[in-house]
Structure 1
Amino acid sequence: MFIYTPDGPTTKQMTTTTQPTTTPMATTTQPTTTPMATTTPPRQLEHVCKNHFKHLDCTPENVVICSAFYGRNDSTICPSDDANTSNMCFEDVTDLVQGRWCRNKPSCYVHGRGYLLDHPCLSNPEAYLQVTYTCGAGQCADTIPSVVTQCPSNFNTTVPVGQTITFVSWNIPSGIDDSGTKYQVVPSRGPGVFFLGIHDITYTFTDPSENEWYCTFRVIVVQR
């Protein structure tokens, strides 16, 4: 009996100590799986200003460049006093960016430097690089709508007492699409003659993949 008595406690201790080591292993794997499934959208849009760079990371999958354009076609992106917005230029450099920096790589750096992109759009010294990318193959379908960069704010216009109509105008909204292609803009109505009252104006931006984005503002015509 004394020979087997020490084995009893020893066996029980071994049984109880193996359980804590198994339980943490089962629970610690869950937090790493959930973020990976929810944090990476199908397509991501990045703008890289002059002399800057961005790190694109798709680990463990490879980075796939859906589109890349170099130049400038919007004054609100990478704003600068030296930006030449009167001579807009936007050149397709998708093959250069994919082949030179990101092909078959889980992560890569993309640069907003004209001399690294064979000098496209040199007429604009403040050009930037616009990159749309995804992680893995077969996910480059365009799901990103056009971005409205200049949408008017709500405003009032006044007319003299006794007058019920007036001509109202505003700066036409503009935008940019990540694919680099031209979007379609359809207003609910444009500048023109307005009666007294509240008028809601909506501009609908539609890209070639039928993604839509909206610019909405209010015009209020009142008497003094």
Structure 2
Amino acid sequence: MKNPPAELCKLRKAIEDEFKVHPETKQDYITLAQKINGKLKTLGGRGEYNKAESISEETIYKVWEYRKNNEAVVSPKTLGILARSIDYLSWGDFIEKYKLKSNEIPESFTPELIETVSAFFNPELIDVPRIKKDEEVHIGWSPYKYAILKCIGEYEFTIIEEKNMCNKNGFTFLTTGFHLSPEKKEFSFPDIIFEPFYDDLEDEHWTLSDLTTIPKKYYL
């Protein structure tokens, strides 16, 4: 099978879950084809002849690799029909939504588990003074919440890639170190604080001994 395996496997599982058929026998595949075609019929006609789409049992065998030594390529048209059977606009629409979901925090991530996983990354271990110009620093919990920083000068960084951070690509700042925000978020990883380069700025009253006093503008 030459289609992207992760995306195709995801499509197959989504279809199995939708129609409540997890095929093991030949009859299971026939039942699955019947249910898919029943759904496609309810969607009405498409194309030049305004005819309802359908899928053959043989195609189901091919997509689900029921036949041995199956090297056939599944066509984009077939993938589109299958995607529409579970209410996506097209195969491309399914792919885009699959990519988005793959970057979301899984539902199985309970607040307790997020807290445990968060502990695997300690930003205070990043030795900022030793980072050289043009070096990149990965910070956070990829692919859920993270940033890739590029050092552009002494103690100076810019964000070149990010996901779910407070600031976006191109944000540039000076810092001497990083910390985790003490603020708890039930279904999200914590924010990351960049330590202000100057600790004696006028009209700012905060202290590193109490991170709750750090202004939000220092949240990465």
The TM-score by the shorter chain falls in which range?
under 0.3
Higher strand proportion: 1
Flag the structure with larger Rg. Answer: 1
Higher helix proportion: 2
TM-score (norm 1): 0.26
